[in-house]
Structure 1
Amino acid sequence: MPFTIAIIGRPNVGKSTLFNRLVGQKLALVDDMPGVTRDRREGEAKLFDLHFTIIDTAGLDEGPKGSLTARMQEQTETAIALADALFFVIDARIGLTPADRAFADFARRADKPVLLLANKSEGKHGELGAMESYALGLGDPIQISAEHGEGMGELYDAVSKLVPPTDDEDDEREETDEERAARPIRVAIVGRPNAGKSTLINHLLGEERLLTSPEAGTTRDSIAVEIEWKGRGFRIFDTAGLRRRSRIEEKLEKLSVADALRAVRFAEVVVLMMDAQNRFEEQDLRIADLIEREGRALVIAVNKWDLMEAKPGQISMLRRDADHWLPQVAGAPIVAVSGLMGEGIDRLMQAIVEAYAVWNRRVPTAALNRWFEGAIADNPPPAVSGRRLKLNYITQTKARPPSFVLFCSRADAIPQSYLRYLTNSMRATFELPGTPVRITLREKANPFAHKRKRPN
């Protein structure tokens, strides 16, 4: 198990900025408003030749038992328990506060190596605040600026005494086919606010890993968790609820939505979660259309099914509704679940595995062109401006999602309605339900175009 370091400290001292600096990506949301981070987030950190796991945590704060603040504190305590060492971060520009002193005692009680980081130390005001931090009794402060990358050399010297250096040769080795097949499937859970995304993931994990609340907008960052189901690995991303753009006013929500959209782009399968009592609303359809345009495999999960009155034929009605409202992903798997009660979880996971397999499917060229000839014979392309359109042949260029190139004459004249006909026929013939299908038109080169007409 890799060496793990948790970043702790009061709110708004720059913990998430330091996390982003160490992982080399803007994974954690950063804003001037305190308390942006709520769930703990893990990442693979690299500090020169040192490699370790880093955990970003919510700011240490006190709140009444059972409140959201108290449960954020519990997430931080869990991160401390999992860590091998701690980064205790203070704001050097502000200097020590009573909260810093209280939480320094908390860090000491963890009985783990603690590195005191005086963040925002650029300038003379930062120097004075760093000197104050000696009073915490946590050793010499390491003056850094996470935002500007200052002090990373001093941080390396301190961390290297805790973390053994790793060999970079392993990082440069190419991934084998077996390793690629063993990689976890990347799954993003998306939907409108308060659809039950975090509750579902907590049930999959069997623990309260993610904060949940009846209040919409509890989740802010896109948090990744690893699970295993029937011997198969999954990396599941919990995301912030997606509202209509016109309703998003706060800067923080805009950052959360951007983070959720980034999770969709990096996912392989996206689970669109809907509320069973308010399903297929306009925002649900917009999200599904976004997933299709990004070329991701789609699975629809209708959550809170335990609240619905039991009636015969309800699942069949869901199927008809999905095909009616989402014709662009006809046949997408739809599963009724209850994240709170754990109903339908196995069916949902099986649907994810099957959608992933379809998304990776390749169709043999011979079978593809036999279908193509039959499809054209059954429904020839229309003549445009009195001229016949000639479709020559089709081939698959890649999977993930299945993408095809159709060689033809006058590519710009082929109607979209005819391409939809080919797409739907292909879905039915080669069993490609729900996954996006891409058909690119390419005009076949004229072998005589380069020859000049001979003079008379």
Structure 2
Amino acid sequence: MKIFDPIPNVVLLGETNVGKSSLFNKMVGERVSLVGSQRDLTRDVIIKTSVTSNFNLVDLPGINRTDEIDHFIEKIPSVNAFLIVIDHTGWNDISNRFLKYAMNSGKKVLVLVNKSDLGHVHSNKNDMETRYISVLRNHGTDELNKYISSWFEEDEEEELKSISWGFVGRSNVGKSTLLNKLIGQERFLVKDEIGTTQEVNAVSITGKNKIFHMIDTPGYRKNTNLSDLEKASQYRLLKAINVSVSHFVVLIDITQGISRVDLLLMDKIWSRGKGLIVGIGMWDKMNSDLVVLSNAKKELKKRFHGVYCIAVSGITGYGINNLVNAMNEVETKMKKKVQTSHLNKWFASMKNTDAVNRSGIKYITQLGMNPPSFGLFSNRTIEDTRLRYLERKMIDHFDLQGVHLNLIVKHKKDK
């Protein structure tokens, strides 16, 4: 089952130490691939989309034999173009074989001569489209994304909206398996061992008038007795939660119950005003016990009022359509603007409640979106319990399930 259309994949192909990873980082706008003078720093396939392009850029490990290419290419669901990267020293037997491999694929091929500032070398491939660049000197790199994007442009009536969804959870709960089923591609690496995913990996796919950035994250683990590599993966996970990702699916293994680690992850996401869905995984392993599912939903919604709880299976595909529908709902509600007249009418109906009377709230107004934020104008300090009560009432009344509202108490002296 394929719900989305995949975004084109453009593969960087070149031997070790010609500057592929530096170019990759430059084109995606952040330091994703490791860069250094040491050989073989990139050891796995990395796929990333920059905000200024309409394609996925793929960085392969530095390889020196063409028979190694297929091993990594098979991890990519489809290849639409190759960027052959050489440096100022020119062509050699290895790079010539890489070029032949790309040409035989029948895909679009562009040759990039990096480090051209160290000595301008003619590519000697008159029949090949060639660009001379220097990543270090920022020469010829800025326009690459725009140029390559032009290969895949289509006439569109509406501009595509970009939405990021992070899939998080404990190690080995099936995040990568679920993502593969969701996008209809065997894109994310799956193994029956803890810690298989160490990087924050992303693939971009198109839906109706939207680009979804699906992000697979390392499993969340207690920060004790971890190796330096594991600590680095946990740092990248927390950075995604705190900064770079706006919506999350927290996948839990219901056969192990709802753990303290699960709740801690949800708290981190919910408290930061991010969109939240809880994926209840492994439910099919419990013979689809409705009592277990109902109890799990009650426990979660008591703590995170209105949160979507979706039973899913990355193996069978159960619940995938429900998950996609919930993702669309949460994304819409995160940017919902409540009409002032509706807000005033609801507030008038609440004036005789203790939550409003004892809080001294005079009026309420919406301040912003993503998440929906509301200003409560009062001459008193409002207790947290009353704020949570008002939030629950607003979530139910204005149909804002899956969103943690940002209620800001403002006093007359506040500007």
**Normalising to structure 2: TM-score of the pair?**
0.77
Q: Report what 2:44 is aligned to.
A: 38
Q: 1-side partners of 2:296 and 2:351: how far apart?
A: 33
What amino acid sits opposite 2:203 in the alignment? A
Q: Report what 1:422 is aligned to.
A: 390
> Quick one: higher RCO (CA 8 Å, sep 6+), 1 or 2?
2
Q: 1-side partners of 2:239 and 2:402: how far apart?
A: 20
Q: Would you say 1:200 and 2:181 are equivalent positions? A: no
What amino acid sits opposite 1:192 in the alignment? R
Q: Report what 1:449 is aligned to.
A: none
Q: 1:308 to 1:227 in 2, by over 3 A?
A: farther
What amino acid sits opposite 1:393 in the alignment? Y
1:55-79 per-position Cα deviation (integer Å, ceiling 9, x unaligned): 232215599x9x9x97534236x66
1:265-302 per-position Cα deviation (integer Å, ceiling 9, x unaligned): 44443211122323422222222112113312211112
8 Å CA contact 1:375–1:425 kept in 2: the answer is no
Q: Report what 2:111 is aligned to.
A: 115
What amino acid sits opposite 1:238 in the alignment? I
8 Å CA contact 2:64–2:94 kept in 1: the answer is no
How far the C-alpha of 1:373 sits from its partner, in A, is 4.0
Q: Report what 2:294 is aligned to.
A: 316
How many aligned residue pairs are there? 396
Q: Would you say 1:440 and 2:408 are equivalent positions? A: yes
Q: Would you say 1:304 and 2:282 are equivalent positions? A: yes
Q: Report what 1:88 is aligned to.
A: 85
How far the C-alpha of 1:244 sits from its partner, in A, is 3.0
Q: 1-side partners of 2:8 and 2:334: how far apart?
A: 36
Q: Report what 1:7 is aligned to.
A: 12
Q: Report what 1:403 is aligned to.
A: 373
SS of 2:331's equivalent in the other structure is helix
Q: 1:347 to 1:60 in 2, by over 3 A?
A: same
8 Å CA contact 2:372–2:405 kept in 1: the answer is yes
8 Å CA contact 1:221–1:256 kept in 2: the answer is no
SS of 1:289's equivalent in the other structure is helix
Q: 1-side partners of 2:258 and 2:248: how far apart?
A: 16
| RMSD (Å), alpha carbons | 4.5
What amino acid sits opposite 2:370 in the alignment? R
Q: 1:368 to 1:137 in 2, by over 3 A?
A: closer
Q: 1-side partners of 2:275 and 2:308: how far apart?
A: 10
Q: 1:254 to 1:31 in 2, by over 3 A?
A: farther
Residue 202 (structure 2) aligned to one of 223, 226, 235:
223
8 Å CA contact 2:355–2:389 kept in 1: the answer is no
Q: 1:316 to 1:91 in 2, by over 3 A?
A: farther
How far the C-alpha of 1:253 sits from its partner, in A, is 5.0
Q: Report what 1:26 is aligned to.
A: 30
Structure 1 residues 173-252: aligned runs within 5 Å: 179=158, 183=161, 185-219=163-197, 220-228=199-207, 231=208, 233-241=210-218, 242-246=220-224, 248-251=226-229
1:310-340 per-position Cα deviation (integer Å, ceiling 9, x unaligned): 434222122112124xx2x212011111112
Q: Report what 1:106 is aligned to.
A: 98
Structure 1 residues 353-364: aligned runs within 5 Å: 353-364=328-339
8 Å CA contact 2:54–2:149 kept in 1: the answer is no
Q: Report what 1:330 is aligned to.
A: 305
8 Å CA contact 1:11–1:58 kept in 2: the answer is no
8 Å CA contact 2:278–2:309 kept in 1: the answer is yes
Which of the two has higher C-alpha Rg?
1
SS of 1:209's equivalent in the other structure is coil
Q: 2-side partners of 1:58 and 1:295: how far apart?
A: 36
How far the C-alpha of 1:402 sits from its partner, in A, is 1.5
Q: Which runs of 5+ in 2 are unaligned?
A: 1-5
8 Å CA contact 2:13–2:84 kept in 1: the answer is yes
Q: 1-side partners of 2:398 and 2:148: how far apart?
A: 52
How far the C-alpha of 1:437 sits from its partner, in A, is 0.6
Fraction of identical pairs, as percent: 24
How far the C-alpha of 1:424 sits from its partner, in A, is 1.9
SS of 2:192's equivalent in the other structure is coil
Q: Would you say 1:289 and 2:267 are equivalent positions? A: yes
Q: 1-side partners of 2:344 and 2:51: how far apart?
A: 49
Q: 2-side partners of 1:217 and 1:416: how far apart?
A: 38
What amino acid sits opposite 1:149 in the alignment? R
How far the C-alpha of 1:27 sits from its partner, in A, is 5.5
SS of 2:49's equivalent in the other structure is strand
Q: 2-side partners of 1:10 and 1:409: how far apart?
A: 68
Q: 1:44 to 1:265 in 2, by over 3 A?
A: closer
8 Å CA contact 2:48–2:201 kept in 1: the answer is no
Q: 1:70 to 1:6 in 2, by over 3 A?
A: closer
1:372-429 per-position Cα deviation (integer Å, ceiling 9, x unaligned): 344342215687xxxxx5321111122322210011114xx32222212221222233
**Normalising to structure 1: TM-score of the pair?**
0.71
Q: Report what 1:386 is aligned to.
A: none
Q: 1-side partners of 2:388 and 2:9: how far apart?
A: 51
How far the C-alpha of 1:435 sits from its partner, in A, is 0.7
